[in-house]
């Protein structure tokens, strides 16, 4: 009986050491900080919406400004550098610099990839720079700028030269819905 008591008192405990727990915690922390920003950038609809609204407002303002000032303004979409900017055609300004706080150069957000710019009539452009003129008579050409946020979802910024209207459309599969 004495031997049974001694055997029961000598239990073997198996547990993790403090060092092992700290290593696991450090690895999980590193993974969290590396992976979290990638997921946040892919799923931030507020940034996408803000960018698209800013673009729509800038283009509407540009159209009105070209009509009121009787000048030709140009929207430059640079697909390679992922940005857009504005220039003006006027005497005394050979570089075409636009001095207007509402028409500033803007980069496309990381979560949006620019699929193409389509000028109507004309072709679809997937690389390089596209120049879209806004004249004192309104938009010279209709256009569509297609952005992809996810594989099955497109946002299309449409400029209609017939009515001088800028519209944003969300396209999922074959279904289109006007957003703003």
Domain 45-178: CATH class, spelled out? alpha beta
Mean pLDDT for the stretch of residues 54-70: 91
pTM: 0.70
Checking if the pLDDT of 4 tops 60, the result is no
DSSP label at 169?
E
Mean pLDDT for the stretch of residues 64-69: 91
DSSP label at 157?
E
Confidence of residue 68 (pLDDT cuts 50, 70, 90): very high
Checking if the pLDDT of 134 tops 70, the result is yes
pLDDT in tens, 32-41: 888 776 555 5
Q: What pLDDT was estimated at residue 73?
A: 92
Query: Per-residue DSSP letters for 116-159?
Result: EEEEESS-EE-SSEEEEEEETTEESSEEEEEEEEETTEEEEEEE
Q: What pLDDT was estimated at residue 16?
A: 80
Checking if the pLDDT of 6 tops 70, the result is no
**Lowest mean pLDDT: which of 9-18, 34-43, 111-120?**
34-43
CA angle 114, 159, 107 (to 5 degrees): 35
Q: What pLDDT was estimated at residue 39?
A: 59
Q: What pLDDT was estimated at residue 179?
A: 75
Q: What pLDDT was estimated at residue 9?
A: 60
Which of 170, 49, 175, 26 lies closest to 109, judged by CA? 49
pLDDT in tens, 96-113: 888 888 888 889 888 888
Q: What pLDDT was estimated at residue 1?
A: 54
Q: What pLDDT was estimated at residue 127?
A: 85
Q: Is pLDDT larger for residue 167 or for residue 90?
A: 167
Q: Round the average pLDDT of the chain to a whole number and report it.
A: 83
**How many CB atoms within 10 Å of residue 44?**
15
């Amino acid at each position: 009986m004495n031997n049974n008591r001694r055997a029961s008192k000598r239990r073997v405990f198996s547990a993790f050491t403090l060092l092992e727990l700290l290593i696991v915690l450090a690895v999980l922390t590193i993974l969290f900080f590396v992976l979290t920003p990638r997921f946040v950038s892919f799923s931030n609809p507020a940034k996408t919406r803000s960018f698209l609204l800013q673009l729509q407002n800038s283009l509407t303002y540009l159209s009105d400004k070209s009509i009121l000032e009787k000048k030709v303004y140009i929207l430059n979409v640079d697909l390679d550098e992922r940005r857009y900017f504005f220039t003006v055609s006027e005497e005394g300004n050979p570089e075409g610099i636009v001095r207007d706080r509402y028409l500033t150069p803007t980069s496309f957000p990381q979560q949006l990839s620019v699929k193409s710019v389509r000028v109507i009539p004309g072709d679809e452009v997937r690389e390089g720079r596209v120049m879209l003129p806004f004249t004192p008579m309104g938009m010279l050409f209709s256009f569509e700028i297609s952005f992809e946020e996810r594989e099955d979802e497109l946002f299309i910024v449409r400029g209609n030269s017939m009515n001088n209207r800028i519209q944003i459309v969300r396209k999922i599969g074959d279904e289109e819905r006007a957003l703003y």
